[in-house]
Amino acid sequence: MSLPRRVVRVATGSIVAPWGQAAADLRLCGRPLRERQEQVFARLGLRAEAAVTPEAVGADPDTLYVDDDVDLAAGTLRSFLKAAGPGTQLAVVERPLRVGELEVEPQAWYRDGAVGDEPLPGASPVRRLGVRWGDGRRGVRVDPLGLAGRSTLPGPFGAGQTLDWAIDVRTGATVRHWVHYLRASLAAVGVDIWERLVLRPWAPLWTWLRSPLRPRYAVIGRRCKVHPTAILDGCVLGDDVHVGPYSVLRGCWVGDGTHIEDHVTARLSAIGPHAHVGNYSMFNLSVLGQRSSVGHIGAQVCAIGDDCFVSTFATLHDLNLRGNVRVRWGDRVLDTGVPFLGVALGHGVRLGAGVTIASGRDVPNGVHVVAEGAVARIPADLAPGEYRSVGGRLERVS
């Protein structure tokens, strides 16, 4: 495998709402995106030497330019470098293919060993990421590796409606919106579980040897307290984690010091560190920031920041029965391409009992909604403070 002479980051200046943070500072599975990139580089014997502006991309044909808002797995970069060379750009095949108006990676087409811009007959779609060797004019395809499947959606979606899903060890995503961050976080959970349980089968074996009367397919850290009735399937737990009676966790990453109460159901989610999930909560396909707490009812397909509190009986809507969920991005409102999507909460957000947030909304940092009611409209420039819902709008509590 040939390697570039040097690696540099491209400073994109991407700021992600509602947190108001640079994409490189957002944490995925407990680690800032910037550190995740450094870890990927180190596993391939590379090191980022400097930061450059987007205008400098391609100036050196022996340099690998990586945008600072791109998250990718080590297997993705390794596969790219095996087939790449000067003048190439990373193109990933997605399972399932993303749709909607939120996509930032340019879509391309792969056919007969080449990546092009024309959807010729027999071509398969790929997406080009901000990983370029030199000027990066020629795409190099990286195929997915992992598990994929299709499920039937019951209820209001009608007969025959299906949902494609995948857990891949070769992933890549550009993070410029909270929906991108949610996707990248869930992909990171899948990669971490795949690498630590599937590619290292002795890790769950060691968990079983430590406690043979409680067989679990999981990697469990030190000083964890997992109740004998709890079920852990394909999970990674940090140190000092508590899991209460009759809780079921499947495909979850849990940070250090996190407390999961009784009868909790969680699937394919990133939780913690030092977070709290209340009794009887349902927490699926979501991200919970550090030191945050969610009460009864829980959340689905949501991105919750740090130091947040979602009270018992507060509701985060996750479904639009009238069509696809639309989200705000700057001064635009865009179609996500899916009817099933929750909300995003900025850092320090608090929601009182009975508060309902409509799907697709994002609540800015430091906003406290203290009075019962449904919230449908949230200004992007909403200042920190206490609010109540009046006719679907937030009104400041004096």
Looking at domain 192-396, what is its CATH homologous superfamily?
Hexapeptide repeat proteins (2.160.10.10)
53-74 pLDDT per residue, tens: 999 999 999 999 999 999 999 9
The 3-state DSSP composition of the chain as helix, strand, coil percent (nearest 5) reads 15, 40, 45
Measured CA to CA, the distance from residue 120 to residue 106 in angstroms comes to 16
pLDDT of residue 160: 56
Structure tokens at 231: 């079920």
C-alpha distances in Å from residue 253, one per residue of 41, 219, 245, 308, 313 = 22, 10, 19, 19, 25
H or E element at residue 178: helix 178-193
pLDDT of residue 156: 61
Measured CA to CA, the distance from residue 293 to residue 273 in angstroms comes to 11
pLDDT mean over 216-231: 89
C-alpha distances in Å from residue 1, one per residue of 4, 82, 132, 197 = 10, 5, 16, 26
The ranges assigned to domains in the chain are: 6-175, 192-396
pLDDT of residue 78: 94
pLDDT mean over 230-247: 94
Torsion, Cα 107 29 235 343, to 10 degrees, reads -70
pLDDT of residue 205: 64
Query: Which residues sit opposite 164 in a β-bridge?
Result: 150
Mean pLDDT of all residues belonging to the chain:
89
Name the pairing type of β-strands 287-288 and 303-304.
parallel
Structural class in CATH, domain 6-175: alpha beta
CA 97 to mean position of chain CA atoms: 16
- Sole residue written with tokens 């985060």: 316
Structure tokens at 184: 């990248």
Measured CA to CA, the distance from residue 71 to residue 174 in angstroms comes to 6
Structure tokens at 239: 């140190």
Give 204 or 317, the one with higher predicted confidence. 317
Which of 26, 177, 28 has its CA nearest to residue 101?
Answer: 177
276-306 pLDDT per residue, tens: 999 999 999 999 999 999 987 889 999 999 9
Measured CA to CA, the distance from residue 277 to residue 356 in angstroms comes to 18
308-323 pLDDT per residue, tens: 999 988 999 998 888 8
* Percent of all residues in the chain with a pLDDT value above 90, rounded to a whole number: 64
pLDDT mean over 197-209: 66
- Do 144 and 125 form a contact (C-beta atoms < 8 A)? no
Q: What is the pTM of this model?
A: 0.92
Measured CA to CA, the distance from residue 386 to residue 380 in angstroms comes to 16
Structure tokens at 65: 């330019």
140-187 pLDDT per residue, tens: 999 888 777 777 766 665 555 667 777 788 889 999 999 999 999 999
109-151 pLDDT per residue, tens: 988 878 888 888 888 899 999 999 999 989 999 988 877 777 7
